[in-house]
Amino acid sequence: MNNSRRKFLKNTFSVYSTTLLAPNLFANNIDKSKLDLGLQMYSFAPLIMQGKFDFLGFPDLVKNTYGINGAEYWSIPFMGRENDRDFLNDLKRRSDDNGVDNLIILVDDIDINTMQSGPSLASSNKNDRDTAIDYHKKWIDVAKEIGCHSIRVNLKSDESDNKKILDNSSESISRLIEFSKQDNISIVIENHGGITADADWLISLIKNVDNKYVGTLPDFGDYNFCVDRGALNFDEIGKVCKDQYDKYLGVKKLMPYAKGVSAKSHEFGKDGEELSTNYSRMIKIISESNYKGYITIEYEGAMMGMFGGEGTYLNPHEGILATKKLINKYL
């Protein structure tokens, strides 16, 4: 990420801060008899960064503006309020009052002043892994308080040996599960670029951990299936990946272990179709799997537009509605 955009992120956030089991055993533990729609808070990332997003109003927004029944959260906008029990209780009450199911928290350990990530669960350094485990335990507690069934973790690593990454990640996740299972909270891994973009490696991790409290979070994004993706860099999202895993094959492979689905969207054509993903094909893959639970809208187009992406992007509200319409078209 170039210096000007890193500075923009820092400044906007600073402003805001002041204001071997069988696959079906990994299936979603939400008691749903059919597929339903959720909304990921990250869809509003530009508004969040500009301090224009009403966090506690999110459940009402999900239900009464978009007619959606599930809410997913992003750790960054909590901005320290994850330690405020009154805030969490208020959020849970508002969710219950609106009949909204709280689902998953996407956990990103990022220092808003430097935009650098904290220690990783997949690090080659055991002290760093210990620190990362302690950090994620806090978010397991938050998930319990607001009624989410899972947290999503990242597995960035400085290792080049995939087997060592597998072993380190397995150890960390297994230790996290020993803590999370007490409250029936699962650990989910998204195909989030890098080693996790390789669906075969990710499945080997799930099988290696071998626990019903671990699962996948399949994401439709091209960038999410970019194996040579490094650190988060919005400049690179729209560019061609040198090592791209087939996302349709990837989602199909990950679905038996899914505890959620991220319907990523960016840009839409005049016919309403998403330009980077064949939604008809993706929804068919999900519908034909044994998955029962939420498909969550994660509109990223406005974020790409904010960082000068080459395309015609809708604002968050319009992008969410366009994604919802497209999912319902094929569901």
Distance of CA 206 to the CA centre of its chain: 17
pLDDT at position 6 over 60 = no
Report the chain's mean pLDDT, rounded to a whole number.
90
pLDDT at position 21 over 80 = no
- Is residue 174 within 8 Å of 137, Cβ to Cβ? no
Q: How confident is the model at residue 117 (pLDDT cuts 50, 70, 90)?
A: confident
Q: How confident is the model at residue 323 (pLDDT cuts 50, 70, 90)?
A: very high
Neighbours of 67 (CB within 10 A): 9
Q: How confident is the model at residue 164 (pLDDT cuts 50, 70, 90)?
A: very high
Q: Which two tokens mark 270?
A: 């005049």
Q: Write down the pLDDT at residue 308.
A: 81
Mean pLDDT within 165-177: 98
Q: Write down the pLDDT at residue 3.
A: 52
Per-residue model confidence as pLDDT tens digits over 59-107: 999 999 999 999 999 999 999 999 999 999 999 999 999 999 999 999 9
Report the domain count for the chain. Answer: 1
In the DSSP assignment, the letter for residue 194 is: G
Residue-number span of the structural domain to which 270 is assigned: 3-19+28-330
pLDDT at position 28 over 50 = no
What CATH code is carried by the domain that includes residue 279?
Answer: 3.20.20.150
pTM of the model: 0.90
Q: Write down the pLDDT at residue 242.
A: 87
Sign of CA dihedral 67, 61, 192, 107: negative
